[in-house]
Each structure stands twice: as structure tokens, then as C-alpha cells.
Amino acid sequence: MFRSPSVKRIFLSKSYTAVTRPIFSLSSLASSSGRLDVICRCIIQAFKTRSGLRRNVEFYAVLAGPPGPNMVVHVTRNVSLNVLYSELTVADAIAKSMVSGYYEGVRTFEGNLIDVLKIIGSRRVLPILLHEEGADILSVREEYHKRAAETITIALGTQEDLSRRDVGLLEGAGFMKYSLGPKSYLASHAVILVNYYLDKMLERVEL
């Protein structure tokens, strides 16, 4: 027996350094954008597979670098494959969206982590926080079925971990820590790994 192959996944990350306006250069993305490139790579890995795009994924990134105020990048299920071609095309789409509010499935608006949590809501959602000191990621499956969840929200850091304050905020909102093991992975690799585990764990139900 197979469960729906489309367990909805919402990724949520926050960068304390990524710029909040389109003031970066695509020819020196990492150094001019406050590491928006890390977010761009995470977005690509959240959506793209060898055979196309995952249509059960959304990605929220809170940008909290200069000049402020905080901006939210929301990559919707309607994002185009062209946008996800490379980290430069993702960054370019974010820059265009920062000007007009929306570009090819990428929405941007002023907001912070609390605003995003309100948007995601909590009904039939299993919120998890990727953290090296958490419970084994394989135990997500049990919690998912216990709650009859329809959506998994996955919070993670970028080139640095989420701050203690934001971890506290997420825990207060019901996020539980899960670990991919004792090694610290790049954020984009953590996205790949969590997609892999969720594919294996949740898309097939044992009888």
C-alpha cells in the first residue's frame, strides 16, 4: 500500500547576513550578497530532482542582513525550472522579485520568522528543526503518522546555525530537533539528505 507520494514539505531557513535589497552583483554573488548564495543552493536542492521539479515543496527564507528591514523570500510550487537552473538564476529571480514583489513563482515581502510561522500555521503540520543534537531523523516517521500530519515543515540554518533566540522561538512553536547524524553538513546538503530520508520513510507505508 502506498501513501500519497506528495507529502508536502515546507523548508524554512533564516540568514542573518543575506542582504534584503537587490544590491548584490551576480558576478560576485557570495561576497556581495551576504551569502544569499547559500540560500539559493538550498532552494535548488529543495525542488530539483533528475526528472524535474518536486511540486510538493515550498521554501521560505528570512533574510536578516543589511540594509533591512527583514525580507521573506517565498519560493512557491509554481516556481519555474528556468529560475532553478543555477544559483545565479535563483539570485536573479530573487532580485527581480524584490523590485516587483513576484517573479516566476518567487514572492518577496517584508517580514520576519514569526510572520512566516503564522503563514505556515500548525494544522496537520509536523514542524521539525534540523539540529545536530536532535533525535535520529529516522524517528520522524513515527511522529508523522502519530499526528496524521499532511505537511512537514523543516527549519534549518545556513552557513551558520540558527541563533539560540530563533531556536527558542521555533521550539516554542512546536518544532522538535532532529539530527542527520554527528557530522555537520552544508545547509544545501542537509536539504538533499532530508528530502532523501522523507522520500524513503514516508512515501511507502508498511502493512
Ligand X SMILES: C[S@@+](CC[C@H](N)C(=O)[O-])C[C@H]1O[C@@H](n2cnc3c(N)ncnc32)[C@H](O)[C@@H]1O
Binding residues for ligand X, rule: CB under 6 A, are: 130-132, 156-157, 159-161, 179-181, 183-187, 190
C-beta of 41 vs 74, nearer to ligand X: 41
What are 55's three cell numbers? 511540486
CB 107 within 8 A of CB 76: yes
For the CB of residue 177, give the shortest distance to ligand X in the complex, in Å. Answer: 8
Q: Kind and range of the H or E element at 58?
A: strand 57-63
Cα dist from 146 to 128, 150, 196, whole Å = 14, 11, 21
CB 108 within 8 A of CB 101: yes
Q: Kind and range of the H or E element at 194?
A: helix 187-202
C-beta of 180 vs 198, nearer to ligand X: 180
Nearest residue to 97 via CA among 56, 39, 30: 39
Q: Which residue is nearest to ligand X (CB)?
A: 157
C-beta of 56 vs 159, nearer to ligand X: 159
For the CB of residue 176, give the shortest distance to ligand X in the complex, in Å. Answer: 12
For the CB of residue 100, give the shortest distance to ligand X in the complex, in Å. Answer: 31
C-beta of 60 vs 103, nearer to ligand X: 60
For the CB of residue 172, give the shortest distance to ligand X in the complex, in Å. Answer: 18
